[in-house]
Amino acid sequence: MKLLITGGAGFIGSNFVHYWLKNHPEDEVTVLDKLTYAGNLRNLETVVDKIKFVKGDICDRELVFSIVKDIDTIVHFAAESHNDRAAMDPESFVRTNVLGTFTLLDAARLNGLKRFHHVSTDEVFGHLPLGAGFFNENTPYAPRSTYPASKAAADHFVRAYHITFGLPVTISNCSNNYGPYHFPEKIIPLFICNLKEGKKVPVYGDGLYVRDWIHVEDHCRGIEAILLKGKIGETYCLGGKDSEVSNLELTKKLLALTGRDESFIEYVKDRPGHDRRYSIDYTKAKSELDWEPRINLDDGLKATVQWYADNQAWVDKIRSGVYQEYYKRQYGKDESLTL
Protein backbone atom coordinates (compact mmCIF):
# COMPACT_ATOMS: atom_id res chain seq x y z
CA MET A 1 0.00 0.00 0.00
CA LYS A 2 0.96 3.62 -0.47
CA LEU A 3 -0.49 5.29 2.59
CA LEU A 4 -1.05 8.93 3.39
CA ILE A 5 -1.33 9.31 7.16
CA THR A 6 -2.69 12.73 8.07
CA GLY A 7 -1.91 14.00 11.57
CA GLY A 8 0.91 11.44 11.79
CA ALA A 9 2.97 13.65 14.12
CA GLY A 10 0.19 13.75 16.74
CA PHE A 11 -0.55 11.24 19.49
CA ILE A 12 -2.53 8.45 17.79
CA GLY A 13 -1.23 9.19 14.28
CA SER A 14 2.41 8.76 15.35
CA ASN A 15 1.61 5.54 17.22
CA PHE A 16 -0.09 4.33 14.03
CA VAL A 17 2.96 5.22 11.89
CA HIS A 18 5.21 3.19 14.23
CA TYR A 19 2.72 0.33 14.31
CA TRP A 20 2.31 0.25 10.53
CA LEU A 21 6.02 0.39 9.69
CA LYS A 22 6.68 -2.44 12.16
CA ASN A 23 3.94 -4.69 10.83
CA HIS A 24 3.93 -3.70 7.14
CA PRO A 25 7.53 -2.72 6.35
CA GLU A 26 6.96 -3.16 2.61
CA ASP A 27 4.44 -0.30 2.47
CA GLU A 28 5.21 3.33 1.60
CA VAL A 29 4.19 5.87 4.23
CA THR A 30 3.72 9.60 3.68
CA VAL A 31 2.78 11.78 6.66
CA LEU A 32 1.00 15.10 6.16
CA ASP A 33 0.93 17.21 9.31
CA LYS A 34 0.67 20.93 9.95
CA LEU A 35 2.66 20.61 13.18
CA THR A 36 0.25 22.62 15.27
CA TYR A 37 0.97 22.78 19.01
CA ALA A 38 -0.19 19.10 19.12
CA GLY A 39 2.14 17.91 16.35
CA ASN A 40 5.64 16.90 17.37
CA LEU A 41 8.12 15.55 14.86
CA ARG A 42 10.04 13.99 17.74
CA ASN A 43 7.20 11.45 17.91
CA LEU A 44 8.56 10.16 14.58
CA GLU A 45 12.26 10.66 15.35
CA THR A 46 13.15 6.96 15.15
CA VAL A 47 11.41 6.42 11.79
CA VAL A 48 12.02 9.74 10.08
CA ASP A 49 14.23 8.14 7.40
CA LYS A 50 11.60 5.47 6.62
CA ILE A 51 8.78 7.89 5.78
CA LYS A 52 8.13 10.90 3.61
CA PHE A 53 7.14 13.80 5.85
CA VAL A 54 5.25 16.80 4.47
CA LYS A 55 4.60 19.76 6.71
CA GLY A 56 1.31 21.21 5.55
CA ASP A 57 -2.36 21.85 6.11
CA ILE A 58 -5.09 19.37 5.14
CA CYS A 59 -7.18 22.42 4.10
CA ASP A 60 -4.56 23.36 1.46
CA ARG A 61 -6.27 21.98 -1.63
CA GLU A 62 -3.34 22.39 -4.00
CA LEU A 63 -0.92 20.67 -1.61
CA VAL A 64 -3.34 17.83 -0.79
CA PHE A 65 -4.10 17.19 -4.49
CA SER A 66 -0.37 17.10 -5.33
CA ILE A 67 0.33 14.55 -2.55
CA VAL A 68 -2.52 12.13 -3.25
CA LYS A 69 -1.38 11.55 -6.83
CA ASP A 70 1.15 9.03 -5.45
CA ILE A 71 -1.15 7.51 -2.81
CA ASP A 72 -3.73 4.69 -2.80
CA THR A 73 -4.98 4.81 0.82
CA ILE A 74 -5.63 7.69 3.21
CA VAL A 75 -5.80 7.10 6.96
CA HIS A 76 -7.12 10.38 8.30
CA PHE A 77 -6.17 11.33 11.87
CA ALA A 78 -5.46 15.07 11.53
CA ALA A 79 -7.81 17.10 13.70
CA GLU A 80 -8.12 19.64 16.42
CA SER A 81 -8.78 17.16 19.23
CA HIS A 82 -9.00 18.83 22.65
CA ASN A 83 -12.41 19.62 24.15
CA ASP A 84 -11.12 22.41 26.39
CA ARG A 85 -9.63 24.24 23.40
CA ALA A 86 -12.84 23.70 21.38
CA ALA A 87 -14.79 25.76 23.89
CA MET A 88 -12.30 28.63 23.49
CA ASP A 89 -11.71 28.52 19.72
CA PRO A 90 -14.46 26.59 17.90
CA GLU A 91 -13.57 28.07 14.50
CA SER A 92 -10.27 26.21 14.17
CA PHE A 93 -12.19 22.97 14.87
CA VAL A 94 -14.66 23.68 12.08
CA ARG A 95 -11.84 24.59 9.72
CA THR A 96 -9.58 21.58 10.24
CA ASN A 97 -12.11 18.92 11.18
CA VAL A 98 -14.79 19.78 8.62
CA LEU A 99 -13.12 21.71 5.78
CA GLY A 100 -9.92 19.66 6.07
CA THR A 101 -11.80 16.36 5.89
CA PHE A 102 -13.83 17.65 2.92
CA THR A 103 -10.61 18.65 1.09
CA LEU A 104 -9.10 15.18 1.60
CA LEU A 105 -12.33 13.48 0.50
CA ASP A 106 -12.46 15.55 -2.67
CA ALA A 107 -8.82 14.76 -3.46
CA ALA A 108 -9.46 11.04 -2.83
CA ARG A 109 -12.53 11.07 -5.09
CA LEU A 110 -10.98 12.98 -7.97
CA ASN A 111 -7.81 10.85 -7.90
CA GLY A 112 -9.62 7.50 -7.63
CA LEU A 113 -8.09 6.37 -4.34
CA LYS A 114 -8.73 2.79 -3.22
CA ARG A 115 -9.56 3.60 0.41
CA PHE A 116 -10.31 6.49 2.71
CA HIS A 117 -10.33 5.55 6.38
CA HIS A 118 -11.66 8.23 8.70
CA VAL A 119 -10.64 8.14 12.36
CA SER A 120 -13.51 9.45 14.45
CA THR A 121 -14.63 9.50 18.05
CA ASP A 122 -17.41 8.09 20.22
CA GLU A 123 -18.21 11.65 21.31
CA VAL A 124 -20.32 12.11 18.15
CA PHE A 125 -23.01 9.99 19.89
CA GLY A 126 -23.39 12.46 22.78
CA HIS A 127 -23.27 11.06 26.30
CA LEU A 128 -24.78 8.30 28.45
CA PRO A 129 -26.17 8.30 31.98
CA LEU A 130 -24.00 6.74 34.69
CA GLY A 131 -24.28 2.96 34.80
CA ALA A 132 -26.64 2.41 31.84
CA GLY A 133 -26.27 1.79 28.12
CA PHE A 134 -23.57 1.67 25.44
CA PHE A 135 -22.81 3.33 22.13
CA ASN A 136 -22.76 1.14 19.05
CA GLU A 137 -22.90 1.65 15.27
CA ASN A 138 -26.69 2.21 15.39
CA THR A 139 -26.62 4.93 18.05
CA PRO A 140 -28.02 8.20 16.62
CA TYR A 141 -25.61 11.12 16.36
CA ALA A 142 -26.15 13.68 19.16
CA PRO A 143 -22.94 15.69 19.77
CA ARG A 144 -23.25 18.17 22.65
CA SER A 145 -20.18 20.37 22.22
CA THR A 146 -18.14 21.89 19.42
CA TYR A 147 -15.34 19.32 19.02
CA PRO A 148 -17.71 16.35 18.61
CA ALA A 149 -20.04 18.51 16.50
CA SER A 150 -17.17 19.11 14.07
CA LYS A 151 -16.23 15.40 14.06
CA ALA A 152 -19.88 14.44 13.48
CA ALA A 153 -20.05 16.81 10.50
CA ALA A 154 -16.89 15.21 9.12
CA ASP A 155 -18.36 11.70 9.58
CA HIS A 156 -21.48 12.77 7.64
CA PHE A 157 -19.33 14.08 4.76
CA VAL A 158 -17.37 10.81 4.67
CA ARG A 159 -20.61 8.79 4.42
CA ALA A 160 -22.04 11.22 1.86
CA TYR A 161 -18.95 10.81 -0.36
CA HIS A 162 -19.47 7.05 -0.29
CA ILE A 163 -23.18 7.21 -1.11
CA THR A 164 -23.00 10.04 -3.66
CA PHE A 165 -19.69 9.32 -5.40
CA GLY A 166 -18.95 5.69 -4.49
CA LEU A 167 -15.73 6.64 -2.65
CA PRO A 168 -14.51 3.50 -0.81
CA VAL A 169 -14.65 4.71 2.78
CA THR A 170 -14.62 3.21 6.27
CA ILE A 171 -15.06 4.98 9.62
CA SER A 172 -14.00 4.06 13.15
CA ASN A 173 -15.57 5.67 16.23
CA CYS A 174 -13.23 5.03 19.12
CA SER A 175 -13.31 5.76 22.84
CA ASN A 176 -10.65 7.66 24.88
CA ASN A 177 -7.09 6.64 24.01
CA TYR A 178 -3.99 6.68 26.21
CA GLY A 179 -0.37 5.55 25.84
CA PRO A 180 2.99 6.82 24.55
CA TYR A 181 3.33 10.27 22.89
CA HIS A 182 0.05 11.52 24.43
CA PHE A 183 0.21 15.32 24.58
CA PRO A 184 0.20 16.44 28.24
CA GLU A 185 -2.99 18.50 28.02
CA LYS A 186 -5.27 15.42 28.17
CA ILE A 187 -6.08 13.98 31.58
CA ILE A 188 -3.78 10.93 31.75
CA PRO A 189 -0.50 12.47 30.54
CA LEU A 190 -1.22 15.81 32.28
CA PHE A 191 -1.79 14.08 35.60
CA ILE A 192 1.27 11.81 35.22
CA CYS A 193 3.50 14.82 34.45
CA ASN A 194 2.04 16.97 37.25
CA LEU A 195 2.35 14.21 39.84
CA LYS A 196 5.93 13.47 38.86
CA GLU A 197 6.74 17.17 39.27
CA GLY A 198 4.99 17.28 42.68
CA LYS A 199 2.11 19.43 41.38
CA LYS A 200 -1.60 18.98 42.13
CA VAL A 201 -3.99 17.53 39.55
CA PRO A 202 -7.14 19.47 38.53
CA VAL A 203 -10.22 17.21 38.67
CA TYR A 204 -13.17 18.87 36.93
CA GLY A 205 -16.50 19.14 38.77
CA ASP A 206 -17.45 16.16 40.94
CA GLY A 207 -14.91 13.84 39.25
CA LEU A 208 -17.65 11.30 38.56
CA TYR A 209 -17.46 11.56 34.76
CA VAL A 210 -16.80 8.18 33.18
CA ARG A 211 -14.59 7.32 30.21
CA ASP A 212 -13.96 3.99 28.44
CA TRP A 213 -10.16 3.94 28.13
CA ILE A 214 -8.45 2.12 25.25
CA HIS A 215 -4.70 1.70 24.93
CA VAL A 216 -3.55 3.36 21.69
CA GLU A 217 -1.95 0.12 20.46
CA ASP A 218 -5.36 -1.61 20.59
CA HIS A 219 -6.80 1.30 18.59
CA CYS A 220 -4.02 0.97 15.97
CA ARG A 221 -4.72 -2.78 15.67
CA GLY A 222 -8.41 -1.96 15.24
CA ILE A 223 -7.72 0.44 12.37
CA GLU A 224 -5.43 -2.18 10.79
CA ALA A 225 -8.24 -4.76 11.05
CA ILE A 226 -10.67 -2.34 9.38
CA LEU A 227 -8.21 -1.55 6.58
CA LEU A 228 -7.53 -5.24 5.92
CA LYS A 229 -10.94 -6.83 6.65
CA GLY A 230 -13.53 -4.07 6.99
CA LYS A 231 -16.46 -3.69 4.61
CA ILE A 232 -16.51 -0.60 2.41
CA GLY A 233 -19.08 1.97 3.55
CA GLU A 234 -19.20 0.58 7.09
CA THR A 235 -18.58 2.08 10.52
CA TYR A 236 -16.90 0.21 13.39
CA CYS A 237 -17.00 1.18 17.07
CA LEU A 238 -13.78 0.46 19.01
CA GLY A 239 -13.51 0.54 22.81
CA GLY A 240 -11.32 -0.53 25.72
CA LYS A 241 -10.87 -3.81 27.62
CA ASP A 242 -12.97 -3.57 30.82
CA SER A 243 -11.58 -0.05 31.24
CA GLU A 244 -14.59 2.08 32.15
CA VAL A 245 -13.72 4.23 35.18
CA SER A 246 -14.65 7.59 36.66
CA ASN A 247 -12.04 10.34 36.52
CA LEU A 248 -11.69 10.06 40.28
CA GLU A 249 -10.97 6.31 40.11
CA LEU A 250 -8.51 6.98 37.30
CA THR A 251 -6.82 9.71 39.35
CA LYS A 252 -6.48 7.37 42.34
CA LYS A 253 -4.80 4.75 40.11
CA LEU A 254 -2.34 7.40 38.88
CA LEU A 255 -1.68 8.60 42.45
CA ALA A 256 -0.82 5.01 43.45
CA LEU A 257 1.44 4.50 40.40
CA THR A 258 3.36 7.72 41.07
CA GLY A 259 3.56 7.30 44.87
CA ARG A 260 1.40 10.32 45.72
CA ASP A 261 -1.57 10.63 48.11
CA GLU A 262 -5.03 12.19 47.78
CA SER A 263 -3.81 15.59 48.99
CA PHE A 264 -2.61 16.05 45.38
CA ILE A 265 -6.23 16.15 44.13
CA GLU A 266 -7.63 19.62 43.50
CA TYR A 267 -11.30 19.90 42.57
CA VAL A 268 -11.74 22.72 40.05
CA LYS A 269 -14.58 24.33 38.09
CA ASP A 270 -16.33 21.97 35.67
CA ARG A 271 -15.81 21.89 31.89
CA PRO A 272 -18.71 23.56 30.03
CA GLY A 273 -20.93 20.98 28.27
CA HIS A 274 -19.09 18.16 30.07
CA ASP A 275 -20.29 14.74 28.82
CA ARG A 276 -21.16 12.44 31.75
CA ARG A 277 -20.23 9.03 30.39
CA TYR A 278 -18.94 7.27 27.24
CA SER A 279 -19.03 3.50 26.79
CA ILE A 280 -18.52 1.41 23.66
CA ASP A 281 -20.09 -1.89 22.63
CA TYR A 282 -17.54 -3.30 20.15
CA THR A 283 -19.49 -6.48 19.27
CA LYS A 284 -19.51 -5.66 15.54
CA ALA A 285 -15.72 -5.26 15.34
CA LYS A 286 -15.31 -8.50 17.32
CA SER A 287 -17.66 -10.56 15.16
CA GLU A 288 -16.80 -9.09 11.73
CA LEU A 289 -13.10 -8.30 12.13
CA ASP A 290 -12.06 -10.70 14.88
CA TRP A 291 -10.76 -7.63 16.76
CA GLU A 292 -10.96 -6.99 20.46
CA PRO A 293 -8.85 -4.89 22.83
CA ARG A 294 -6.09 -6.79 24.65
CA ILE A 295 -4.65 -4.31 27.15
CA ASN A 296 -6.55 -3.78 30.41
CA LEU A 297 -6.42 -0.42 32.18
CA ASP A 298 -4.16 -1.39 35.07
CA ASP A 299 -1.50 -2.92 32.79
CA GLY A 300 -1.82 -0.11 30.26
CA LEU A 301 -1.52 2.65 32.88
CA LYS A 302 1.49 1.00 34.49
CA ALA A 303 3.25 0.82 31.12
CA THR A 304 2.25 4.41 30.31
CA VAL A 305 3.57 5.82 33.60
CA GLN A 306 6.81 3.93 32.88
CA TRP A 307 6.95 5.34 29.33
CA TYR A 308 6.71 8.90 30.68
CA ALA A 309 9.46 8.13 33.22
CA ASP A 310 11.68 6.74 30.45
CA ASN A 311 11.00 9.71 28.18
CA GLN A 312 11.52 12.65 30.50
CA ALA A 313 13.42 14.56 27.78
CA TRP A 314 10.35 14.31 25.48
CA VAL A 315 8.15 15.68 28.29
CA ASP A 316 10.59 18.48 29.17
CA LYS A 317 10.79 19.66 25.55
CA ILE A 318 6.99 19.87 25.37
CA ARG A 319 6.53 21.52 28.73
CA SER A 320 9.17 24.14 27.76
CA GLY A 321 7.95 24.57 24.14
CA VAL A 322 11.34 23.56 22.65
CA TYR A 323 9.79 20.60 20.79
CA GLN A 324 8.62 22.90 18.02
CA GLU A 325 12.23 23.66 17.06
CA TYR A 326 12.95 20.08 16.01
CA TYR A 327 11.43 20.36 12.53
CA LYS A 328 13.59 23.38 11.78
CA ARG A 329 16.75 21.49 12.64
CA GLN A 330 15.68 18.29 10.92
CA TYR A 331 14.62 19.93 7.66
CA GLY A 332 16.71 23.10 7.74
CA LYS A 333 13.72 25.34 7.21
CA ASP A 334 13.70 28.65 8.92
CA GLU A 335 10.05 29.21 9.60
CA SER A 336 7.84 29.72 12.59
CA LEU A 337 6.25 26.59 13.95
CA THR A 338 3.95 28.30 16.37
CA LEU A 339 0.19 28.11 15.81
Residues of this chain that bind ligand TDX (CB under 6 A)? 81-83, 121, 123, 176, 186-187, 190, 202-204, 209, 211, 247, 271
Indicate if 137 belongs to the active site.
Answer: no
Report, in Å, the least distance between residue 136 CB and ligand TDX: 17
The answer to whether the CB of 35 falls within 8 A of the CB of 57 is: no
Note the residue count of the chain: 339
Indicate if 334 belongs to the active site.
Answer: no
Report, in Å, the least distance between residue 201 CB and ligand TDX: 7
Q: Give 57 or 122: the residue with its C-beta nearer to ligand TDX.
A: 122
Give me the 79-118 binding string for ligand NAD, x by CB under 6 A, dash otherwise: xxx--------------x---x------------------
d(CA 170, CA 164): 15
Q: Which residue is nearest to ligand TDX (CB)?
A: 121
- Is 42 a residue that touches ligand NAD (CB under 6 A)? no
Using alpha carbons only, how large is the chain's radius of gyration in Å? 19
d(CA 280, CA 240): 8
Q: Give 30 or 150: the residue with its C-beta nearer to ligand TDX.
A: 150
Among 3, 4, 5, 7, binds ligand NAD (CB under 6 A): 7
Instruction: List C-alpha distances in Å: 61 to 64, 66, 192.
Output: 5, 9, 39
For the CA atoms of 261, 267, 270, 274, what is the dihedral angle to 10 degrees?
Answer: 20
Q: Give 13 or 230: the residue with its C-beta nearer to ligand TDX.
A: 13
Report, in Å, the least distance between residue 182 CB and ligand TDX: 9
Q: Which of 57, 80, 147, 244 is catalytic?
A: 147
Indicate if 122 belongs to the active site.
Answer: yes
Interface region with ligand NAD, contact rule CB under 6 A, candidates 3-11, 19-27, 136-144, 201-209: 3-11
The answer to whether the CB of 219 falls within 8 A of the CB of 77 is: no
Q: Give 60 or 249: the residue with its C-beta nearer to ligand TDX.
A: 249
d(CA 210, CA 128): 9
57 makes contact, choosing from ligand TDX, ligand NAD, none, with CB < 5 to 8 Å by partner type, with ligand NAD
190 makes contact, choosing from ligand TDX, ligand NAD, none, with CB < 5 to 8 Å by partner type, with ligand TDX
Helix (H, G, I), strand (E, B) or coil at 96: helix
Angle at alpha carbon of residue 31, lines to 66 and 71, rounded to 5°:
45
Q: Which of 57, 106, 123, 224 is catalytic?
A: 123
Q: Find all residues with CB under 8 Å of 238, minimum gap 6, and list them.
A: 172, 173, 174, 175, 214, 218, 219, 222, 280, 282, 285, 291, 293
Distance between start and end Cα atoms, the chain? 32
293 makes contact, choosing from ligand TDX, ligand NAD, none, with CB < 5 to 8 Å by partner type, with none
Q: Give the other-Cβ count within 10 Å of 104's Cβ.
A: 30
- Is 169 a residue that touches ligand NAD (CB under 6 A)? no
The answer to whether the CB of 2 falls within 8 A of the CB of 28 is: yes
58 makes contact, choosing from ligand TDX, ligand NAD, none, with CB < 5 to 8 Å by partner type, with ligand NAD
Q: Give 151 or 260: the residue with its C-beta nearer to ligand NAD.
A: 151
- What is the pairing mode between strands 115-121 and 73-76? parallel
The answer to whether the CB of 12 falls within 8 A of the CB of 177 is: yes
Report, in Å, the least distance between residue 97 CB and ligand TDX: 10
- Tell me which residues touch ligand NAD (CB under 6 A): 6-7, 9-13, 33-36, 38-39, 57-59, 77-81, 96, 100, 119, 121, 151, 174, 176-177, 183
Residues marked active site are found at 122-123, 147
